[in-house]
Amino acid sequence: MSKNPAANSYLRTKVMTSSPQQLRLMLFDGAIRFTRKGREAVEAERIEDGFESLVRAQKIVLELSTSLNHEIAPELCEKMSALYTYIYRLLVDANVEKNVTKIDEAIRLLEYERQTWQMFIEKVGNDQPVPSDDHLDLGDGENRTALSA
């Protein structure tokens, strides 16, 4: 998180009051942001900054993958999991190789997935905000989607 306490407080409030659909959108935004930061750092030969940013993006992509609900739509989740694994692998390889082409491919895929998710939200709407500060219950079965465990 940021070293700015006000920014941390704002982000915490935003996360705790967002719907599961909005939380997933925030994950895409974070993955894209850190992948872009990693790309900029790799291009500028700031190796440590690039490494840290790409690792943060990897962790977010891993969260996107592990939050899939395979019980609701197993075939869709299997395909999404394969895509996230591919993106994760691109980020790992790009980090090791300092390969901007692989970073660009990861950004392209993440941006496409973000746009798709945004269209999904616009079409079906948002669930109610997450009610509890100390525990994230991302659905009650009725409002749960395959893409929010």
* Model pLDDT, residue 148: 57
**Is 78 within a domain?**
yes
- 91 contacts 58 by C-beta, under 8 angstroms: yes
* Model pLDDT, residue 124: 85
* Model pLDDT, residue 15: 62
Q: What is the pLDDT of residues 91-134, one digit of tens each?
A: 999 999 999 999 999 999 999 999 999 998 999 876 533 333 33
- Of the chain, the percentage scoring pLDDT greater than 70 comes to 73
- 74 contacts 18 by C-beta, under 8 angstroms: no
* Model pLDDT, residue 44: 98
Q: What is the pLDDT of residues 48-66, one digit of tens each?
A: 999 999 999 999 999 999 9
Q: Is the pLDDT of residue 137 over 50?
A: no
Query: pTM value?
Result: 0.78
Going 7 to 117 to 87 to 61, the CA torsion angle's sign is positive
Q: Calculate the average pLDDT of the chain.
A: 84
**Is 5 within a domain?**
no
**Is 148 within a domain?**
no
**Is 139 within a domain?**
no
Range of the domain at 43: 18-124
Q: How many domains does the chain have?
A: 1
The contacts of residue 63 (CB under 8 Å, 6+ apart) are 27
Phi and psi, residue 102, nearest 5° = -70, -35
* Model pLDDT, residue 2: 57
The angle at the Cα of 38, spanning 33 to 42, to the nearest 5 degrees, equals: 150
* Model pLDDT, residue 18: 73
**Is 137 within a domain?**
no
Mean pLDDT over 21-47 rounds to: 97
Return the CATH number at 58.
Answer: 1.20.120.340
d(CA 10, CA 22): 15
